[in-house]
Structure formats: structure tokens, C-alpha cells
Structure 1
């Protein structure tokens, strides 16, 4: 072998005379072939005044001193043009284009074109093997997508999931052992939805955001009951659905909301206790007959009919209000005087009784002379009551008896939030 296998560099033969000639020729070829930088690839003939060491990629059908060098690397050395036959895999930089070229064996092609061929790959795997379903497969502990800082106007980044039609899915799937446990995205519609599953087969909608209004909806089956798909959407979803429990939860965190089905109340935890925020106890009652009140005796007024009675807290048979739970209540009463014959009391009094004894607040009086059907009393008081504690209205005349008239007499109250 008189030349090297790959670059065809001349080898010094044994006992060769003038070895420096062969050695220098090999160095000149190395100088031409290593880190190839050609000035042009489109000239049909050599330039008129080349410089020592100039290199060109010779096109097809060249003329002049390049005749017979088509497809080769032409190098000007020692005042003559020599041709260097390229081999597949050689790279050359084209100075005039600022582009790298690759020799494939059939010709020189821009390296950028090779890279552009990556734009239409059938699949791409990063530490993994893609398949027909997963054209992009990545096996890693993390993946980063960041905004392009090379663009002055950049700063945003969006990941687009584009589906064919509204009835299809555009979603993220969160899996365990390649079995889906949660789906988040546009699932068969335009509403944003979150679905969860315990087995990867049956999914429950945990959250839905209406596309038209942005309204957040929780499914009626949030307690785990499967949500039917045959019902109208309005029947399957509500603005806020909470699972009822028969009693207040044991403890809680500030701001939590719960439903007490026994109390029929929506409650929130205020940091110390569960307090009602809906269906607060309230009532309005009246008496359907004139109540006789003897002189000098505190007598309970028989309020025996309810105009309204949330939670049944007013007990008509006992003429009293019973607090359904501990809390602060505002209570009031109105009584109108009615004369008994010629009796003329000197004082008409009324007060609230709590648990069978004077409440200590909530009292009113009117001194004589009392006008029949005109003189009246008003009571207004705020009482802290324990659950089951009751409140009644009592009245008394001084000096003579009389009546609390059915007309214009009332008893009412409400729990304060």
C-alpha cells in the first residue's frame, strides 16, 4: 500500500530517496483535508488569481484547470490545482454561504437539510422507544419547557393540545403503572373537566367548569355515587353540592363548610365551632283568643298559632320558642290591652321568661290610665340560649285584671348569624 486508506496520503517507502518530498506532500494534503473550509461550490471554472491553499467544491462539468475534477475538493498548491476525492461522511464549510455541507457519497448536501429531515420523523424517543400510539416517548425524571430568550418579543410559553372536534378529548392523563387515575382537560365537550378513577376503568367527574359562563360545578355524586349520564346536565350538577352528614363533623379547619342533615343546616367552621350560615331558626306567632290576666299575677300569654316556623322551633302547644341549637337569638313581642268590663288597671307589664324564670332582659310596662284596644307594650331583646332552652312571654296587671287582646299581639324571633 503506497497511500493511507482513508485520506490517500502518500506513504514513505522503505529505503526511499528524498523522503522529505513524500512527507511534505502528505502534510500538504492534511493541510487541505483537515478542517475543510471551501470558498465556493458554484464556480464552473477556477478563479483567475487563486491564493496558495485556496479550496473549492468543484461542480459538475467544470472547465479550465478543473476539467476532470467534478465533485472533488480542488486545492491550489504549488501553483497547480489538485483534486481530492471526497468520501462519505466528509464535512466542508462553505465560506461564502456560511453553511456546512455533508458528502453522502452521491454529492454534497447542506447539513441543515439533514437536520430539517427531523421535522417529519415517524417517531422520536428520548431514553425510550416510540410506537404507533405514542410517537414521542420520553423516559426521564423531569421535562422542561421554557420561553425562548433569544427572541426579544418572547416571554410566553404555551403547550397546545389540539383535538379534531368537540366530541373528542384534549386532555392530560395521570397514570399509575400505565393505568389512568385522573384525566384533566376537554373531555368529550367544551367544558373543562377533572375526572378521577380508582381502577382506571370507571371515572367520576370531580370538577367541571362551564365553557360559556366559567361557572364551577361539582357533581351531585361527589360522595362516590356514580353520576348518571342519562339525566339532563342541570340534574347532574349543581352550583355547589356537599355530602350531608347526620351531625356536625368532629372539629374542623377555619372556613370549612359542611351540611348537617339532622339540623337541616349548611354550616361553616369559625375556628372554634360549627355555625349556621343557612336555614337559621326564625318564627312569627300569634294568639287566636284574648288572654285573661288576673291582677297581680305574672301570666303566660298563650301564643298558639304560627304564621311561620322554620325548623319547628316554635311550639304552639306549649306557647314557647325552643332554641334548636346554642346561639344568639333576637326575640320580640307585642301586646295590646283590652279592658275587662269596668276594670281599670294602673299598670300593664310584660317580660320574657327563659327556662321558666324571668330572663333578666326584655321587659316593658305602660302606666294607667290604659286605653282599651290602644295601649300596648313592645319587647325587644337579644338572648344567648343553649340548645333546648325555651323562651315564653308573660304579662301582669296591677290594681285590676284585664286581657291581652288577640288583635295586634304577636311573638317573634330569629337566630343571629
Structure 2
């Protein structure tokens, strides 16, 4: 063998005369091929005044002294151009372009283009080491995905997480110390879900969004206790479905919402208590007979029939309203005078009683002459009530007895939001 395998450097033969010639030739070739830096790759012919050691990548069909050197590295050495045939894997730096080129065996290719075409890699790590599970690993304070500015029609950015089948997961995992604390995505189905965990082992579903309808479901109690299998009936709700409980939660945080199935009420926690925000207590009642009112005695008017009675707060058997919960309520009543024979009362009065005593608000009176079937009284009052407090209507005549006529007499009230 007279040359080396890779760079084809001449070898000194045994008992060779003038060994320095061969040795110097090898050094010259090493000087040309190691750390290759070429001045250009697009010249069709040599420059008119090359400097010793100048190198060029020779293009196809060159002229002049480069004739026959197509695809080789032309090196100006000892006043002549010599051609060096590249081998696959050689790298050369192009000074005029500031770009590194790779010889593939078929030609010179920009190394940047080679890197851009990398595919089917086993893993990629940025300041990190990938593994079989995490093929892409990045250790950084941030990561940016931006739209492709080289495409005029671009402007959108989408990150796709594609799973094999419905029963698999496609989710983002938010972790503390490499222990999951929240999962957001398609988890075990095609509904969007958010699940949270305090220990990375037990997860509670915060909400799900149905893939078919877009309806939001909150399938856990306010205290985080799971409520069991999803109720198909929740699908009937138009937007947000809250799982009802038979009673108000024992405690709450400002702004939380709950459904009390016993009271059939939607409530929110105002920081101190669970207050209704829908299906408020309200009623309208009447009496089906003329109520006799003796002279000089406050007597309860027996409103014994309910025209409407949301929340069942009006008790017809006791002729009273019972506050289902603490809050502000508005009440009104209308009473019409009816004469008892020839009696002529001098005064007709009415007022509201709260839990068996005068309420202090809501009182009306009409003085004689009282006109049978015409004279009437109107009451109106807004009262703060505790849960269980009662409201009733009482009336009194002065000077003689009379009736509170069934016709045109009514009692109504409503809880204020």
C-alpha cells in the first residue's frame, strides 16, 4: 500500500531515497485537507492571482487549470492547482457564504439543510437527556411556539395531541416535583376534562365539557367528595349542570354555587351563608269566606287558599307565611270592608304580625264613613326575617264589628334577591 486509506496521503516506502519529498508531500496534503476552509464553490475557472494554499470547491464543467477537477477540492500549492477528491462525510467551510457543507458522495450539501432534514430521531434533548418515554426533553424557563413568518398565508399556531383511540388519554400534565397535580385534556374519553390532585395519586374531576353538546358538568361536591357515576339526566341541562344535594353544604367559600334538592333552590355562598339566587320563595293567597272581625280586638284574617306558593312557604292551614331562610322579604295585603247588619264602625285597621306580634311595619287604616264593599285597605312592607319567622295579617274595627270581605281581599309576598 503506497497511500493512506482515508486521505490518500503518500507513504514512505522501505529503503526509499529522498524520503523528505514524500514526507513533505504528505504534510502538504494534510495542510490542504485538515480543517478545510474554501473560498468559493461557484467559480467556473481559477482566479487570476491565487495565493499559496487557496482552496476552492470546483463546480461541474470547470475551465482552465481546473479542467478535469469537477467536484474536487482545488488547492493552489507550489504554484500549481492540484485536485483532491472528497469522500462521503467530509466537511468544508465556505468562507464567502459563512456556511458549512457536507459531502454526501453525490455532491456538496449545506450542513444547515442537512440538519433541517433530520427525521426519525430516537430522541432530542435541549439542555436535557431524552428517554424512551420522553423522546423530547427540554430544560428551560420557557418555550415559544410562533407562527411561520416565512409563509404569507400563515398566522395560526396549533399544538396537536393525537391519541390512538377514544379510551386513551391526550392531555397536558401540570406537575410539582415531577408529581402530577392537574390533568387537562381528553382523559379516558372524548370529553374535555380538568382533574386535580393533591398527591399525584388520587384525582378529583373539577369539570367536564361534553364533546357532543358543549355542556359543562361539575361532577364533584363542593368539598371535593366524588358523587359517584355521572347522571345521564344532567344532559338535559342547557349549559351548566350542578349536582344537587339534599341539604346546603356545611361550609362554603365566597362565590360557590350549589343546588339544594330538598328546597329545590339554586344557592350561592355570600361569605356568611347559603342564599337563594333562583326559585325564590313567593306566594299569593286569598280567603274563601268573609272573616268576622269583632270590635276592639285585633283578629287574624284567615287567608286559607293559595293561588301560587313557590317553595311551599305559605301555610294555608295556619293562614301564615313561614320564612324558609333568613333574608329580606316584601309583603302586601288588601282588605275590603263588609258591613255586619246595621253596625257602623268608626275605624277599620289592618297590620302585619311577625311571629305573633305586631311587625312594626305595614299598617293601614280607614276612618268613617266606611262604605260597604267599597272601603279598602292596602298594606306594603319590606321586612328582614330569620328562618322560620312567620307573617300574618290582622284586622280590627273600632266602635262596632264588621267583616273582611272575601271579595277583593288578598295576601302576597316574595323573597327579595
The TM-score range, normalised by the shorter chain, is 0.7 to 0.9
Rate the CA distance shift 1:88–1:143 in 2: closer, same or farther, 3 A.
farther
Q: SS at 2:340's partner residue?
A: coil
CA distance in 1 between partners of 2:165 and 2:22 (Å): 75
Indicate the residue corresponding to 1:121 in structure 2.
120
Indicate the residue corresponding to 1:296 in structure 2.
296
Contact 2:146–2:157, Cα closer than 8 Å, also in 1: no
Contact 1:336–1:373, Cα closer than 8 Å, also in 2: yes
CA distance in 1 between partners of 2:88 and 2:315 (Å): 102
Q: Structure 2: which 5+ residue stretches go unaligned?
A: none
Indicate the residue corresponding to 1:145 in structure 2.
143
**Alpha-carbon shift at residue 161 of structure 1 (Å):** 1.6
Q: SS at 1:258's partner residue?
A: strand
Contact 2:219–2:227, Cα closer than 8 Å, also in 1: no
Per-residue CA distance 1:121-146 (angstroms, 9 max, x = gap): 2644433355xxx8x71245568531
Q: Structure 1: which 5+ residue stretches go unaligned?
A: none
**Alpha-carbon shift at residue 5 of structure 1 (Å):** 8.3
Identify which range, 176-185 or 106-115, moves more after superposition.
176-185
Indicate the residue corresponding to 2:159 in structure 1.
160
**Alpha-carbon shift at residue 27 of structure 1 (Å):** 6.3
RMSD over aligned CA atoms reads 4.8
Q: SS at 1:325's partner residue?
A: coil
Per-residue CA distance 1:181-236 (angstroms, 9 max, x = gap): 946159976xx622659999x99793216688xx55216788543337xx69944x
Rate the CA distance shift 1:48–1:144 in 2: closer, same or farther, 3 A.
same
Identify which range, 300-309 or 30-39, moves more after superposition.
30-39
**Alpha-carbon shift at residue 341 of structure 1 (Å):** 1.3
CA distance in 2 between partners of 1:161 and 1:168 (Å): 18
Indicate the residue corresponding to 1:248 in structure 2.
248
Rate the CA distance shift 1:255–1:22 in 2: closer, same or farther, 3 A.
same
Q: Which TM-score applies when normalising by structure 2? A: 0.75
Indicate the residue corresponding to 2:335 in structure 1.
335
Contact 1:71–1:107, Cα closer than 8 Å, also in 2: no
Q: SS at 1:318's partner residue?
A: coil
Q: SS at 1:32's partner residue?
A: helix
Per-residue CA distance 1:367-407 (angstroms, 9 max, x = gap): 10111100111111122222222222111111111111110
Identify which range, 48-57 or 268-277, moves more after superposition.
48-57
Contact 1:193–1:205, Cα closer than 8 Å, also in 2: no
CA distance in 1 between partners of 2:195 and 2:389 (Å): 47
Indicate the residue corresponding to 1:56 in structure 2.
56
Are residue 208 (structure 1) and residue 247 (structure 2) matched? no
